[in-house]
Structures are given as structure tokens and as C-alpha cells.
Structure 1
Amino acid sequence: MDKKKFGKTFIVILTFALLFFGAANAGAYAVNTLFFPAQEFGENTYIGTTDVSNMALADAKSLFAGQVEAWRETAELQVTYQDATANYPIDNAEILLDETISQAQSGIQNNFVYHLPPETTVAFLAEQFPVAAFTEADIATIIAKLEQGLAAGQIQTHVTISDDTLQLEKQVVADVSFPNQLKSIGSAEVVSALQAVEIPAGAQFSFLEFINGLNLNEVTDAELTEIASAIYTTVLKTNFSVDERSIGNAAPELVPVGQEAAVNRALGIDFVFTNPNASSFKLTVAIEGESLVVSLSGYPLVYTYAVQTGSEEKVKPRLIKQYSAFVSTGKEIEEEGAEGVRVEVLRSVLADGQELEIEPISTDFYPPVHRVEVYPLAIAESAESPTTATVPQPGEFVDANGDGVHDAVASAPAVPVQGEAGFIDEDGDGIHDGNADEQPAESATDAPAGGTAIEEEAEEPVYDKAGNLISP
């Protein structure tokens, strides 16, 4: 009996224990289900480029946690300051998964939350862009831009940090000085208007459009060319791009060969350049003593730019001979002629004095001016003249028509032979028969019946000055 009682008692206790623990677990499940349901994202929810629709928050966190290392191995963050670009050490970037998951909202595109250590960013900026003295405020702004750029979760991210929000001090990045040959009032007005012109980030500057907005009284295209050429040479010493530039027909006298930027208002010949940087620059043109000085000011550039002009290749002029009735003897020089010149212009990119790249800019060619000599007309012999004029010897001068010029006697016309043009042989004797015009004139006429022949004197032949027979 004791064993039976013990067995029953044990069964009762076990049953109550199972009921107790079951009720407890069921209650906890019910409470969690009814009052604290598991959180999950709704439809059309993305974090970065990953679809997390209908996924529990914990599952989403676990998913991204397994992808962090793979992202570090393939991701790339490119940072651009002015004219230089460098890769940020992405290994030090930290993805804040808890903040990313908690801030994500269902039904929209969400970003990751990143943290970049300030000390890593400071070291990176000092190493890659040493020309810029960033302030603490600048560094904080740059970190925020980099973190925002990474937020989309792309494999490759590019961020430009050198916009006008930085507190960097602007300085002269390029300047040039040309001899001042400007004389007119209009040129002085152009220089005055160009004393402080802002070139916005990514903006294009047209020299013609600028001066067309001025009320110029008097200025020549040559003076405008001198000003534009000085600006052009300054632009070549930066990373600015030249969009439109021309040269004149002849090598310039006031501007070095290879540095000319011709301007012609009537033909619409312009000089145009673009500021490719993310920050603005200031163009300044001024006359300082006997010099025309041009400068560009802005945030310092990382690289140094130098203009290289190759050796001038001379092009010899040709000789052109002309003939004129207005020149009687010798020759006249209508154009002395001048050599042409060809020169190649390059732009080299330097870092710490070391040449990194050479960029071809242009090949300027000024054609030679050919030499022109004018000679008298040559006396051409008539190809159809049957006679050749001869110089009379003493006592042989004949002047029948009284014009003071020797009347040459025509030679007998040439008789064609068999096989030549004009040969006639009607009687078949192999001798040219000639024609009525070639028969000699009779020296007398038949006498009338019952009388004697009366001789008639043959007429004297008449010739022109060239010795040609003139028909009576």
C-alpha cells in the first residue's frame, strides 16, 4: 500500500508541475504575442540596397553583421579635394548596426549609419592634401560628408570635400605679367571691370560675353587680344580647362608665341574657359606700372602646373614671280616676305617637383608670308607669223609708209610638199598646184585689136610693221 500511495502521490505532483510550467510558458508566450509582438519591417523596405521587407529586426541585424567584413574588402571611398583624389582607409570605417536598424522605417529606402574616427580622417587629410590647413570645424564638416556618402551602402563611393563651405584661406594659385601696351580708354575700362570677377564652381567664362556687357567707348581687337592672352596664360597654370581659343594670322609682337588668345568681335572669335573645381575662384586683372598683371585666387591646389613651349620651328617663305605691263625693266619687290613659325604648347603636372603628367594643349602655326617679285612682260613671238623681222643693215632702211619704222620685206610663203597640210595636186605630177591667190600677177595686159600691148606697172606691195602683207 505504501508503494501505491507513493506512486499516486508522485504522479499527482508531476502532473501539477507540468501544468504549472506549461501554464507559465503559455502565459509568457501569450503575453509576448499579444502585448509585445516581435518587431519586423513592412513591405517595400530597404536598407541600403538590401530588401528587408517582412524581416524581423533581429534577423536584419544578423544579416548585415555577416556582410560587414565582405563590404570592407570590396568597398572604396574616393575623396576629392580640388585637383586631387585619394582613397580613404575604409578599414577604419565602422557600421553602427543598432542605430541603422532602430532608425530604419518601413516602406522606404533607408541608409546605413557609419562612424569615421576623427583621428583617422585628420591623418588622411594631412597626408593626401597637405596644402590645405583644415580647421576643426572643417574636419567635422568633412567627416559628416564622408559618413553621408557611405550611408547609401554602395561598393564605390565618391565624395568631394572642397566646396565653398570650408573655412580655408584663399590664396593666389596662378599669376602672369605681360608688358603693358594698352593705350585706349576702352581697354582701361575692360581692365577695371576685370579687377575682381568671381568664377563659380563648375562655371564657364566667356571673354566676349563679358565685354559685351560693358559700355565700351573705344577699344581695339588687338588690345582685347592682349588682355585675353594674359588671362589664357594664367589659366594654363591651373587645372582649368580651355574650351575655346584661337590665334591670329601672323605671329604676335606683344604676346609670346604659344600664349596668344585672339579676339575678334566682328567674327565672333572668343576665348572661353571652365573652372572644373567644386569651389569658386576670383579672376583679377590690373595694370601695375608698365605691366599687365593677371591672377587667379582660390583654395590652394594640390598639384603645380607649368606651361611648356617647345622650340620654334621656322617655316621658309616661297618666292612668287608675277609679270606686269607696268614694270618696264628689272623687277619690283611687292612683298618682302617673312618666315612662318610652328610651336607646340604643353602643360605639365607636378607634385613635389616631380613630373606626373604632360598634357598637350595646342600646336600653334603661323604661316609664312611669301615673297612676291614683279617682272616686265616678255615679248612673245606670234606663232602664226609667216615672216621674221630682221634688223636692216646700213643703206637698207625702207620706210614706204613714212611711220619711221623699217618696213620689213615679207619672205615668200612656204610651199607645202606631199603629205603636209594644204598640199594640192590635181594634175598628179607630185608638185603642189597652189591656188589663184598664189599665182604671180601678170606684168602686162593683152593689147587691143589692131594696137600694141600697153605695159601696166605692177602695184607696190604694202606691209604692216610686223612684215605681214596688207591686201590692196
Structure 2
Amino acid sequence: MHEREIYRSTLKKVMIIVFLSGLLLYSLSIGIGSIFERTADGAAIPAGSTIANIDVGGLEYSEAQQLIQAEVSSWKEKPEIIVDTKHEEEEVRIDRKLFTFKIKDTLEQLHREIEQPWYKFFVRHSAVTLPLHVELNPAFEQLEDIWPKTIDIEKTLLAATEQVKHLNEPIVAAAYIESSQLEMVTIAEASVVINASNSLALPKLVHQLDQFELDEGQAFSLVHALGDSTEFGISADELDRLATAVYTAVLGTNFEIIERHSQGQIPAYAQAGLEATVVINEKDLVFQNSSPFSYTLQFSIEDSQLKVAVIGPEQETTYSYDTKNVQELQPRTIYRYDKNLAANRERVADYGSNGYRVDVYRVTYNNHGKKLNETRMARDYYPPSPRIVMLSTEQSIPQAEDDSFENIDRNDDKDSYYDQNGGRDNYDDEETNPPTKGTNRGGNGDQTGETKKKQDKGSSAGNGEEDDTEEENWDWLKDLDGPIKGH
């Protein structure tokens, strides 16, 4: 009896083992079959799967490879990728051939994502989304000779690659190298003559301004930087010389000139259009650092020269200035009576001086010295000083060809004076305002006469093109009270 129970128990265990073994073998056959099905080269990719935004769901791997290759070829045929820089004159492009697409590696990754262990044979395959595998062609190192040295090539290309992996049209912003990692050079400099032996205030101001740090986007106000300069006892002439040196140096940069005023007369130490004036609490010289880097303004006095230099990282574009459309204006003749002159005698009391109109341009060049563009920064007007002729009281006024000279006052007052071009001078316009003494230096050398300080409101000229209408129409002279605006 006992043996029989043992037999039944053993048989029962054997039957259970056989059943479980069969079930296990069946499961293994199903799982292994599923694995082979998923790993075969022609296996279908789960529905909804995408690679670089390309729908490859339901395709075999060979079909997916052909589809992706066609999309990549179409993407490569498009124009070069334009890099967004902080300077319009910096033209930076990326050749699409610099990107190598690893389609096979991408499909292998897709296969690994889809693959499941045998014991999950009952789990349904889910959709997979992947970017393309992309590598940079070693030829990208040649960009060091093409791109501006201030741009971090590797970081910029890596940012572009992240978008290329999805076959997007990249919107790439240039990555710039930190200023501290760049070599500092003199970007622009200017100087004016000063009488250093007679000035104690100007050296103090120069020392105060020296090594002024101008950060990215920061504006510089000369009046604000000077502070309470009155405590130094600086003269108006010294301030004008300082403003002229700063303005001329800034013209050789890409800084945006926000406010600048002309002296209205050409000083002996500067050229027409290349001068400036500041008056505390009235007129200022303001410009802004529109570069992505910091700069240092250096001020010094050497050998009776006030020098201003802009120090910063070397750039691929350089700037200079040029004066154009210079027009020489002849002085008018004014006649006055002098009772002390003998009859029918005359003498020249003042020979007068010529006036000038001039346009000032900023010129941009690339690293090969090729001119890229030019922008008008200012248009300056320097009124001529009239020629004054004294006549005896017995002498008649010379008649102009186109004037009748009515209502001539023939008295002995030497303050009564007449204009050869139109009778008594009432100075109704900017060319006939009563002048003050000054120096007007033009194309024929230095001439001293009576000039009046004026200021001009300038304007920019887009892409360096001349405006023929403005050249012929000088209506802008009717409003000369505002500061010159630069770009």
C-alpha cells in the first residue's frame, strides 16, 4: 500500500514536469521566432516610428534606408546655411557638405531600440523616434581662415549640428569667443595738437578718462565721463580739442554715434567734418559700443599731442572715415561807409574767408581690404565770412547785376553796411547771421575771418549711396539747431 502511494506521487510529479517542460519549449519557440522576426534585415519597423522627422513606420529597413537617403540628398542641395551674427557686415555661412550623415548607424540604433528580450514576446512593439547620426567633416577646420576670429567655430557648428540631425532648416546664432581669450589690438586712434605747456587742467582730465572700459552695448557720454570738470578750470578750446580727438577715433570703429555737435567753424587742428564740440550741460558727444565685445578707451598726452585710442579684440572688418562732396562757398561782399576816407576812395577792411559744405562717411572693409560699404555719418556746414569793403561817403554803392539797391541810407555811420548781393544785410538765413571772429581752414589753406559757430544735424546714407535730391536741395540748412545723428 505504501509503495503504491509512492508510485502515484512520483507519476504525478513526472506528469507535471512534462507539462511544464512542454509549455516552456512552446514559449521558447515562440520567443525565439519573434526575435528572429525582429532581427531579420527585412523586418518591418513599428508603426509611428520616425527618423529625423521622416515617417519610417511599417517599412522594412532597406526601404527606410532608401527613403532617408533621398531626404538627405534633397537637404544637401539647398543653399548654404547663414549664421546669424551681431554685425551685418560679418557674412558667415556654412556649407552643407560639412555634415556627414551616418544613416546605417542610425538604423542600427533603431533596431536596438526595437529589440526586446525573449521573455517579453507578448509585449507589442512601440514606435521609436530618433534623430540622424551626424558628424562634422574634418574640412570644417579650414573655416579658421574664412570666418571672423572672434567667432567660436566649434561651438557654432555643434549648435548647427543639433538642428541638422532633424533635417531642419537651421537658425544658427554665432557663438563668440570671450574677450579675455582674444588678442587685444588698437582698433582706431586719433590725435590733435595741444599747447601742453600752458595747460594744467587737460592733463588731469586725460588721466581721469584713461583706461575707460566700454562694455558690450554700453553708451559713452563725454560730458558725463568728465564729471565736474569745472573744478579743473578747463577751457572751452581744450574741451573742443578733446571732443575732436574722441570723435575722430570713434569714426574708425563700428560704434554708433548718438550725438555729436559741430563747432560750426574749422579749427586749425582739424579738417572739415572731423571736429566736434562739447559744452557742459548743453552739448554732448555720445556713442554706443554696438560690438559684442568690451573695449578700452585710452587717453594720453605725448609730444604736445592729445591721443585717443580704442583697444579691443582684432576683428575681420576694419573701419575708416572719408570726407566727400566738399563744396567751397565764396564769401559775399558787404560795403560800408567811412567818413574818414577821401572822395572816391575805398579800402578792404576784411577779406573774408570761404565757407564749406562737407559729408563725412564711415567706410567698412573686410579682412582682405575690400570695401564693403560706406555710411554717411554727418553733413557739416561752415558759413563763409563776408568780405567787407569801406567806401567814402561821396562814393556810390557798386550795383549787383540782378539788384536795384533801393532805399540806400547814405549817412556817415560806419555801422551801416550793404550787401553787394542784396542791399542792407538783415541776416535772415543761416548764411548771413552776424559772424564772430574765428579761423576757417579750407582747401586753399588757412584763412582768418569772421565766422559764426553753427551746428548741423547730420543723417546716415544707407549703403553708401548718394542722395541726388539732397545734394541739390539744401533745405536741411533751415534747421541747424539739433545735434548730428550718426549710425
TM-score, normalisation: structure 1: 0.57
The CA deviation at 1:164 is 1.8
CA contact (8 A) 1:195 1:286 kept: yes
Residue type at the aligned position of 1:363 = R
Match of 1:159 in 2: 173
2: distance between equivalents of 1:174 and 1:163?
21
Match of 1:86 in 2: 92
1:234 aligns with 2:249: yes
CA shift digits 1:20-71 (9 cap, x unpaired) = 99995599669999xxxx87879xxx998x598x999x99998755422222
| SS of the residue 2:144 aligns to | helix
Match of 2:136 in 1: 116
Match of 2:261 in 1: 246
Pick which of 86-95 and 291-300 moved more. 86-95
CA contact (8 A) 2:331 2:386 kept: yes
> CA, structure 1 residues 379+201, in 2 after alignment: closer, same or farther (shift >3 Å)?
closer
1:144 aligns with 2:158: yes
CA shift digits 1:254-286 (9 cap, x unpaired) = 22222112222342x222233333222222111
Residue type at the aligned position of 1:176 = A
> CA, structure 1 residues 214+264, in 2 after alignment: closer, same or farther (shift >3 Å)?
closer
Counting helix residues as a fraction of each chain, which structure ranks higher? 2
| SS of the residue 1:85 aligns to | coil
Bigger relative contact order, structure 1 or 2 (CA pairs below 8 A, ≥6 apart): 2
CA contact (8 A) 1:173 1:297 kept: yes
1: distance between equivalents of 2:134 and 2:295?
33
Q: 2:286 aligns with which of 266, 272, 281?
A: 272
1:225 aligns with 2:213: no
Match of 1:293 in 2: 307
| SS of the residue 2:385 aligns to | coil
1:199 aligns with 2:214: yes
Residue type at the aligned position of 1:270 = D
Q: 2:183 aligns with which of 169, 176, 183?
A: 169
Structure whose alpha-carbon radius of gyration is higher: 1
2: distance between equivalents of 1:127 and 1:170?
20
1: distance between equivalents of 2:166 and 2:299?
45
| SS of the residue 1:74 aligns to | coil
The CA deviation at 1:234 is 1.8
The CA deviation at 1:228 is 2.2
Aligned length: 340
CA shift digits 1:172-210 (9 cap, x unpaired) = 122223223465444333312332122223433332332
| SS of the residue 1:232 aligns to | helix
Match of 2:331 in 1: 317
Match of 2:21 in 1: none
> CA, structure 1 residues 78+205, in 2 after alignment: closer, same or farther (shift >3 Å)?
farther
CA shift digits 1:73-123 (9 cap, x unpaired) = 225323459753232222121356767998x9x9xx998774323x32221
Q: 2:410 aligns with which of 378, 382, 401?
A: 378
RMSD: 4.8
The CA deviation at 1:340 is 1.0
Match of 1:68 in 2: 72
1: distance between equivalents of 2:347 and 2:281?
35
Match of 2:204 in 1: 189
> CA, structure 1 residues 191+350, in 2 after alignment: closer, same or farther (shift >3 Å)?
same
CA contact (8 A) 1:76 1:155 kept: no
> CA, structure 1 residues 266+91, in 2 after alignment: closer, same or farther (shift >3 Å)?
same
> CA, structure 1 residues 293+64, in 2 after alignment: closer, same or farther (shift >3 Å)?
farther
1: distance between equivalents of 2:133 and 2:200?
61
Match of 1:346 in 2: 361
1: distance between equivalents of 2:131 and 2:293?
28
> CA, structure 1 residues 321+61, in 2 after alignment: closer, same or farther (shift >3 Å)?
farther
| SS of the residue 1:123 aligns to | helix
1: distance between equivalents of 2:28 and 2:176?
66
Residue type at the aligned position of 2:192 = F
> CA, structure 1 residues 164+278, in 2 after alignment: closer, same or farther (shift >3 Å)?
same
CA contact (8 A) 1:315 1:368 kept: yes
1:366 aligns with 2:382: yes
CA contact (8 A) 2:321 2:362 kept: yes
The CA deviation at 1:212 is 3.8
1: distance between equivalents of 2:294 and 2:131?
31
1: distance between equivalents of 2:228 and 2:106?
55
CA contact (8 A) 1:229 1:261 kept: yes
Any unmatched runs of 5+ in structure 2?
A: 1-24, 39-44, 114-125, 394-408, 413-487
Aligned-pair identity in percent equals 22
Residue type at the aligned position of 1:122 = E
Match of 1:262 in 2: 277
> CA, structure 1 residues 221+127, in 2 after alignment: closer, same or farther (shift >3 Å)?
same
Residue type at the aligned position of 2:410 = A
TM-score, normalisation: structure 2: 0.55
2: distance between equivalents of 1:202 and 1:96?
42
Match of 1:209 in 2: 224
CA contact (8 A) 1:74 1:155 kept: no
1: distance between equivalents of 2:136 and 2:308?
42
2: distance between equivalents of 1:63 and 1:208?
66
CA shift digits 1:298-350 (9 cap, x unpaired) = 22122343322348532112123467xxx645489886633212233333334
| SS of the residue 1:67 aligns to | helix
> CA, structure 1 residues 146+223, in 2 after alignment: closer, same or farther (shift >3 Å)?
farther
